[in-house]
Amino acid sequence: MNQVTDTGSTPDASASVGPAPASAEARHRPGILLVDDQPARLLTYEAVLAGLEVECVRALSGREALKQLLTREFALILLDVNMPDMDGFETARVIREHPRWERTPIIFVTGMNLTELDQLKGYEVGAIDYISVPVVPEILRTKVTVLTELHQRRRHLEALNSSLTQARNDLEERHASALAERDAQLHAIFEHPTELFVVLQAVRDCETIVDWQYRDANTNALELLGHNRQQLLGCRLTEMFDPEQASRLIAKCAQVLQTRQLVRYEAQYRDQDFFITLFPMGPDCVVGSGTNITERKRTEAALRHSEARYRASEKRLREANERKDEFLAMLSHELRNPAAAIGNAAQALSRLVNHEKEQSLIGIVERQIGHLGHLLDDLLDVSRITQGRIEINRERLTLQSCIDIALETTQPLLQEKKHRLTLSMCPEPLWVNADKVRLAQCIANLLTNAVKYTEPGGEIRVRTLIEDNAAIVTIADNGIGMPPELIPRMFELFVQGERTLDRSQGGLGIGLAVCRMLMEMQGGSVTGSSPGAGHGSTFTLRMPLANETSDPSTGETADSGGPARVMIIDDNRDAADSLALLLQLEDHATLTAYSGAEALSQAASFNPQFVLLDIGLPEMDGYEVARRLKTLIPQARLIAVTGYGLAGDKQRSADSGFEAHLVKPVSLSDIQTTFASLTTS
């Protein structure tokens, strides 16, 4: 049995119990210092080392280990990394700083997964190897056997060196024999299943290192190099590698010997990538370890390629989205021109025709043009909102004023479907801070939705109330309702219920999405519910209440101020001519021009009070025409009539001299109201 010296049974007792006296036989055996704050592990190590010709000495802390080192010499220190008070790294550093212990081998024991940085830290403080917990007995016994053998031979060599009477040749022979045995033992240490290890020895020409030769290699390295051990031993690097590779490796090995520090780098060999670590072993030897990182490098390259493709796809999608927004804006503009012409013609016909049947047909045209205008507005709103270009102009107003606008907008559609509309309004005014136009648009969208998805003769109920300091509008119908799977997605873009041939309601599936986005931009919300298909739907708008104030509405529509001289400039002849006819029926005098040049040539002689000017003219656009007209007829009031209705478009028209901006299709009432406002301003 091996001799065991116990410094204490528990961590608390370790400081008070001194080292037990060793027997004479024990003092002649190599000492192994076992350092761990867990007594159970120390017993495990002793059991593994039982039968070896070594003396195991326990220490339950780093400080206790230092005390033991003061009493005797050890062949090996087995040192736990993670200990309280003074951990393994700090203990190893103190040991290495003492000249007496600087050559004592240290093997770290750890139960944690160490990073390469942690391992480097261990090597920097003097450790020669790591052992992981749980300990593999064969590995521990092999390492201890090899290192104690090295220790005994080192002591023997030191004894020989102390005797100057012995012949130098005998000393060198013994030393060479010891080195050979050490190489064999190192081979056993470094024969790990996943790593490549080689031992290189400097080949000197006088004091100059001109090459390196192989002293040993493990199985993995031999397989990679394509040699057996007998073939490899003595081979030089210049014989194994091409000149560039050999030169690089020779320089790295020389750096290790010169600095006595680790050197790490990446290298390629036979189309494989390796992470190489070189560290010194003795005055002329370098140990190299290599980890195959080929798969890791391929994975990293694949990830970089994938990221590049993702970024390229993202860029293409962004560009496609921008083109889509531009297309929607242009589509809306182009569709507004024919819509304006049709709308103007329908309004004019309604004043010329008295027969009930013709009036009915004209009403259909007017309603459908209005519906087309709403679709175009929704398309543009989606584009504006997604780009963050929509403007919200909030003011204190009553909820009822927005409901009135929405009801006026949807009244023709309600009458066409012969629905029963029930209003249940809160008796007191509900004041909110909102954009009047946008809030009315949201309510109108929900009313239109209810009308479209309720069978003719159905019932629609609008109710207002106060709840939790918020103004509430509910719009309920007894229409086709929604299936459960549609309810969570009802406010997403382009989502609609299933259509059948007998229930094709039209629309683009964006009205509810626009409604939700506009409500959130005003600090409100919208929700929807349905008991199921065939049981109707209920939508609820919610806006925080504002402080009460007087109703700012004037209650009356401004007078247009009577007949006026109006110049119409539009390259779309149908739109220009139909608008001129509509104004003539209201006793206005009109002059129509189909280009900017034509308008400039006739403007002074006609001397108009108002100019209705299209911006999207060919050759000379409306902005330039407006600037020139202000010089020719400075008294005329310029009004932009265009398919472009973004905030930037309105600002640009104002900068060019326009005093009002109307978006096609334009109703006669909008024109009359604009005339009146400019007349009184």
Q: Express each pLDDT in 577-617 by its tens digit.
A: 888 988 998 899 999 999 999 999 999 999 999 999 998 89
Classify domain 565-680 by CATH architecture.
3-Layer(aba) Sandwich (3.40)
Query: ω into residue 429 within 30 of 0, thus cis?
Result: no
Average pLDDT over residues 198-204: 87
Average pLDDT over residues 442-471: 93
Q: What is the 3-state secondary structure (H, E, C) of 155-179?
A: HHHHHHHHCCCCCHHHHHHHHHHHH
Query: 328 falls in which pLDDT band (50, 70, 90)?
Result: low
**What is the structure's pLDDT at 16?**
34
59: phi > 0 → left, psi -120 to 50 → alpha, else beta; which?
beta
**What is the structure's pLDDT at 181?**
67
SS3 20: coil
Least confident of 232-246, 357-371, 593-607: 357-371
Give the CATH class of 4-169: alpha beta
Average pLDDT over residues 268-285: 88
**191-292 and 565-680 in the same fold:** no
The residue with tokens 């020719």 is 632
CA distances 669 to 198, 366, 557, 675, Å, are 94, 14, 10, 10
Give CA–CA dist 82/68, Å, rounded: 19
Give CA–CA dist 564/547, Å, rounded: 43
Task: Write b or e for each residue in 392-427: b if 16 or more Cβ atoms lie within 10 A of its Cβ, otherwise e.
Answer: eebeebbbbbbbebbbebbeebbeeeebebeeeeee
pLDDT at 197 over 90: no
pLDDT at 473 over 80: yes
Comparing C-alpha atoms, which of 639, 638, 637, 645 is closest to residue 664? 645
Give the amino acid at 172. Answer: E
SS3 456: coil
Q: 117 vs 646, which has greater pLDDT?
A: 117
The phi, psi pair for 642, rounded to 5°, reads: -150, 165
Give CA–CA dist 18/59, Å, rounded: 10
Answer yes or no: are the C-beta atoms of 312 and 304 closer than 8 Å: no
Least confident of 2-11, 98-107, 173-182, 285-294: 2-11
**What is the structure's pLDDT at 630?**
93
The share of the chain scoring above pLDDT 90, in percent, equals: 30
**What is the structure's pLDDT at 640?**
94
Answer yes or no: are the C-beta atoms of 433 and 394 closer than 8 Å: yes
Comparing C-alpha atoms, which of 139, 118, 135 is closest to residue 127? 118
Query: 330 falls in which pLDDT band (50, 70, 90)?
Result: low
pLDDT at 118 over 60: yes
pLDDT, one tens digit per residue, over 485-540 is 888 888 876 555 554 434 444 444 577 888 888 899 899 999 999 998 889 999 99
Comparing C-alpha atoms, which of 405, 516, 421 is closest to residue 462? 421
SS3 442: helix
pLDDT at 12 over 50: no
**What is the structure's pLDDT at 3?**
44
**What is the structure's pLDDT at 550?**
45
Domain locations along the chain: 4-169, 191-292, 391-544, 565-680
Comparing C-alpha atoms, which of 459, 447, 436 is closest to residue 412? 447
Answer yes or no: are the C-beta atoms of 286 and 257 closer than 8 Å: yes
Query: 558 falls in which pLDDT band (50, 70, 90)?
Result: very low
**What is the structure's pLDDT at 204?**
80
Average pLDDT over residues 148-175: 73
Q: What is the 3-state secondary structure (H, E, C) of 345-377?
A: HHHHHHHHCCCHHHHHHHHHHHHHHHHHHHHHH
Give CA–CA dist 256/123, Å, rounded: 13
The share of the chain scoring above pLDDT 70, in percent, equals: 79
pLDDT at 301 over 60: yes
**What is the structure's pLDDT at 382?**
61
pLDDT, one tens digit per residue, over 442-455 is 999 899 889 988 99
Answer yes or no: are the C-beta atoms of 430 and 443 closer than 8 Å: no
Comparing C-alpha atoms, which of 5, 6, 36 is closest to residue 133? 36
Least confident of 63-67, 327-331, 512-516, 566-570: 327-331
Comparing C-alpha atoms, which of 489, 484, 405, 485 is closest to residue 447? 405
**What is the structure's pLDDT at 14?**
37
**What is the structure's pLDDT at 536?**
93
pLDDT, one tens digit per residue, over 623-673 is 999 999 999 999 999 999 987 776 678 888 999 999 999 988 788 888 988
**What is the structure's pLDDT at 58?**
94
pLDDT at 440 over 80: yes
Answer yes or no: are the C-beta atoms of 475 and 460 closer than 8 Å: yes
Q: Say if domain 391-544 classifies as CATH 3.30.565.10.
A: yes
Question: Dihedral sign, CA of 146, 148, 153, 154?
Answer: positive
Average pLDDT over residues 389-418: 86
Neighbours of 474 (CB within 10 A): 17
Q: What's the distance, CA 107 to chain centroid?
A: 45
CA distances 447 to 372, 409, 535, 538, Å, are 16, 10, 17, 11
The phi, psi pair for 346, rounded to 5°, reads: -65, -40
Q: What's the distance, CA 427 to chain centroid?
A: 50
Q: β-pairing, 431-434 with 395-398?
A: antiparallel
**What is the structure's pLDDT at 316?**
85
- Which token pair is 114? 């160490």
Q: What is the mean pLDDT of the chain?
A: 81
Task: Write b or e for each residue in 192-217: b if 16 or more Cβ atoms lie within 10 A of its Cβ, otherwise e.
Answer: eeeebbbbbbbbeeeeeeebbbbbbb
Give CA–CA dist 626/363, Å, rounded: 35
Classify domain 191-292 by CATH architecture.
2-Layer Sandwich (3.30)
Helix axes 436-452, 399-417, angle to 10 degrees: 30
pLDDT at 219 over 60: yes
**What is the structure's pLDDT at 466?**
94
Average pLDDT over residues 369-396: 67
* DSSP 8-state class, residue 571: S
**What is the structure's pLDDT at 373?**
67
**What is the structure's pLDDT at 152?**
86
* DSSP 8-state class, residue 497: P
